[in-house]
Amino acid sequence: MALAAKCSSKLCSSLKPCRNSGKPCVHRAPVSISRSSVHYGQRNGVRLQAANNGATATADKSATAPVPIVKIDNMSDPFATKVTVEFGDKLGELLDTVTALKNLNLNIRKAALVSPGKASTFFITDADTSEKVLKSARLEEIRMTIINNMLYYHPESSETLVAGKSFQPPSRDQTHPLGPKARAVVQTTIEVKEAPNGSCSLLAVTTRDRPGLLVDIVSVLKDINVNVVSAEIDTMGDEAKDEFFVTYHGEPLNPPMVQLVTNSLQYYLSLAEVEKEESY
């Protein structure tokens, strides 16, 4: 029996009568893939790749985003206030910060690069007295000047610095017919222990940072006759970790005073209502 004529069509993939020969084909050509399915797959592949790239970029950004840190130390150096600024590897020579500090009537006795491109330390004194800065208002002014400079020259730092975020006022006031809105609580930790030298107490405060925080803490302590001998102020993103050497009538805090200091600061700092725009 004679075989049917071989189909000359490369697209023939069935045993139905061939359009070219009119007889059944005895071969099978490779099954073809329609152009629409190829384009659909390519489009999906491009979309998938773009989505993956976007997710990777977002993950990389969150993983590499540095946390701005400003530390003011009045303990380690007896003659100057030590200021350290960190922001990943984004810091340069900080000439703008040096200028801003000098405009505050401060002298920079020396400066050191703790880690090239990552952290800078300044030893500053008051230009009028040539002594370290002790007043809480001046220390807060130094801290906010550095933070505002960082916000100006590194806008990306606003994602973690409280000073770069807009204030959200309470949605209901005290005279609302339904009453005031439930108070939001700021997570605050307060610890008081005797200092290593035994001459004073060490007060450690961890809370959400905000402009004017240092002045407010010292003001609360003064209201209960607690004297601040020295302080170290650490601002790490939106968190403040401050340490104070304090005395009560020249002595370390006794147990009742420890309880009073803890309750006073806990009450004041834990309330979100103190974070008013006016206090900025």
**CATH code at position 226:** 3.30.70.260
Residue 29 counted as domain residue: no
Residue 269 counted as domain residue: yes
Query: 240 vs 53, which has greater pLDDT?
Result: 240
Q: Which amino acid, one-letter code, is at 182?
A: A
The answer to whether residues 100 and 148 belong to one domain is yes
Q: Residue 28 above 80 pLDDT?
A: no
Residue 108 counted as domain residue: yes
CB atoms within 10 A of CB 202: 17
Question: Which of 105, 115, 120, 108 shows the shortest CA–CA distance to 80?
Answer: 108
**Confidence bin at 218 (pLDDT 50/70/90):** very high
Looking at 154, 176, 211, the residue that finishes a domain is 154
Task: State both tokens at 151.
Answer: 């916000």
Residue 110 counted as domain residue: yes
If one counts the domains in the chain, the total is 2
Q: Which helix (H) or strand (E) holds 201?
A: strand 201-208
Alpha-carbon gap, residue 7 to 41, rounded angstroms: 31
Residue 11 counted as domain residue: no
Which range marks the domain in which residue 217 is found? Answer: 189-274
Share of the chain above pLDDT 70, in %: 60
Lowest mean pLDDT across 54-63, 98-107, 266-275: 54-63
pLDDT at residue 170, as a whole number = 47
The answer to whether residues 150 and 200 belong to one domain is no
Residue 52 counted as domain residue: no
Q: Residue 42 above 90 pLDDT?
A: no
Residues in the chain: 280
pLDDT at residue 194, as a whole number = 92
Residue 128 counted as domain residue: yes
CB atoms within 10 A of CB 72: 22
Q: Which amino acid, one-letter code, is at 201?
A: S
Alpha-carbon gap, residue 12 to 19, rounded angstroms: 9
Cβ(94)–Cβ(85) under 8 Å?
yes
Helix (H, G, I), strand (E, B) or coil at 31: coil
Lowest mean pLDDT across 4-8, 38-42, 148-152, 211-215: 38-42
CB atoms within 10 A of CB 156: 16
Q: Collect all residues with Cβ–Cβ distance below 8 Å to 205 and sequence separation of at least 6.
A: 188, 189, 190, 217, 240, 241, 242, 243, 244, 265, 269
